[in-house]
């Protein structure tokens, strides 16, 4: 029987640090809700705005798949693997922390804030070699379609993660309808509305709402306005 959980945008945790304004869909830092620890392997979904010229200083991670998706403007990345990169709007970045990596992320602009999603996914295997990748996905490629941007392997035209997880981005005109077929039995799908209004399996959703479904084979999606949507399919047991 289909199961679901709804996380309205105004129910998220919130932290304002001056240079950082962050909304937490799941428990993170000083926001703790035992009912909102994770959705399957999806551990963190932070909606961050970082002030011009500011950012996260170098800090360590291990055994976590960390995905960054800029929504407006660009991030500047450095890590202990020797990577230095600019992650631009329409890019998707993956850092597979594995045995351990230290990194910093800062706003590349000195004049405008940057908005981005910080997403953590529990890995399929622990203790793997750390790895970094990023890829650009032009907006035209996701107009009225769900474009795969994250996958479990390097052969599917997306950045890949150490987990049986698939992420898709869509940019829909009002009235557009599509279906999403769950790729692996036992997985669930967490939908996050970036902009606009959509209905998924009969549930009306609005900007920055989150909606998780599991024990389903497919999602029926309708754009009730111009809408931008992120779907994250992840194992519910891992």
For the segment 114-133, what is each residue's pLDDT rounded down to a tens digit? 999 999 999 999 999 999 99
Q: How confident is the model at residue 76 (pLDDT cuts 50, 70, 90)?
A: very high
Supply the mean pLDDT for the chain. 97
List C-alpha distances in Å: 91 to 60, 180, 181.
23, 22, 24
Domains in the chain: how many in total? 2
Domain that holds residue 174: 139-235
β pairing state of 65-72 and 146-151: unpaired
Q: Are residues 44 and 157 in the same domain?
A: no
Q: Are residues 102 and 127 in the same domain?
A: yes
What DSSP character marks residue 128?
A: P
For 222-227, what is the mean pLDDT?
98
pLDDT at 1 over 90: no
Closest CA to 170 of 202, 151, 194: 194
List C-alpha distances in Å: 203 to 211, 215, 223.
9, 16, 12
- Domain final residue pick, 136, 170, 191: 136
* Count of CB atoms situated within 10 Å of the CB of 96: 24
95 is a domain residue: yes
3 is a domain residue: no
State in Å, rounded, how far the first CA of the chain is from the last one: 20
We report the CATH number of the domain holding residue 69 as 2.60.120.10
For 121-147, what is the mean pLDDT?
97
Q: Are residues 106 and 148 in the same domain?
A: no
Q: Are residues 125 and 146 in the same domain?
A: no
Q: Are residues 162 and 225 in the same domain?
A: yes
SS3 content of the chain, % helix, strand, coil (to 5): 5, 55, 40
For 180-192, what is the mean pLDDT?
98
> Is the distance from CB of 50 to CB of 104 less than 8 angstroms?
no
pLDDT at 155 over 90: no
- Domain final residue pick, 104, 136, 168: 136
Q: Name the residue with tokens 């959509």.
A: 198
What percentage of the chain has pLDDT greater than the value 90? Answer: 97
């Amino acid at each position: 029987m289909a199961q679901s959980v709804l996380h309205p945008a105004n129910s998220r945790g919130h932290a304002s640090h001056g240079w950082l304004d962050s909304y937490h869909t799941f428990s993170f830092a000083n926001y703790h809700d035992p009912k909102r620890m994770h959705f399957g392997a999806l551990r963190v979904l932070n909606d961050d705005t970082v002030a011009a010229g500011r950012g996260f200083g170098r800090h360590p991670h291990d055994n976590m798949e960390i995905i960054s998706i800029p929504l407006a403007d660009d991030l500047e990345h450095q890590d202990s693997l020797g990577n230095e990169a600019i992650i631009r709007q329409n890019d998707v970045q993956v850092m597979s922390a594995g045995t351990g990596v230290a990194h910093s992320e800062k706003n590349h602009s000195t004049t405008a804030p940057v908005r981005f999603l910080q997403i953590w996914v529990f890995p399929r295997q622990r203790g793997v070699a750390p790895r970094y990748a990023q890829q650009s996905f032009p907006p035209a490629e996701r107009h009225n379609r769900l474009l795969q941007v994250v996958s479990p392997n390097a052969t599917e035209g997306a950045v890949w993660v150490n987990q049986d997880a698939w992420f898709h981005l869509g940019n829909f005109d009002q009235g557009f309808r599509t279906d999403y077929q769950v790729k692996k039995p036992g997985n669930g799908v967490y939908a996050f509305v970036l902009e606009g209004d959509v209905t998924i399996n009969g549930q009306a959703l609005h900007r920055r709402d989150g909606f998780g479904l599991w024990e389903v084979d497919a999602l029926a999606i309708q754009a009730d306005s111009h809408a931008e949507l992120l779907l994250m399919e992840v194992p519910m047991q891992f």
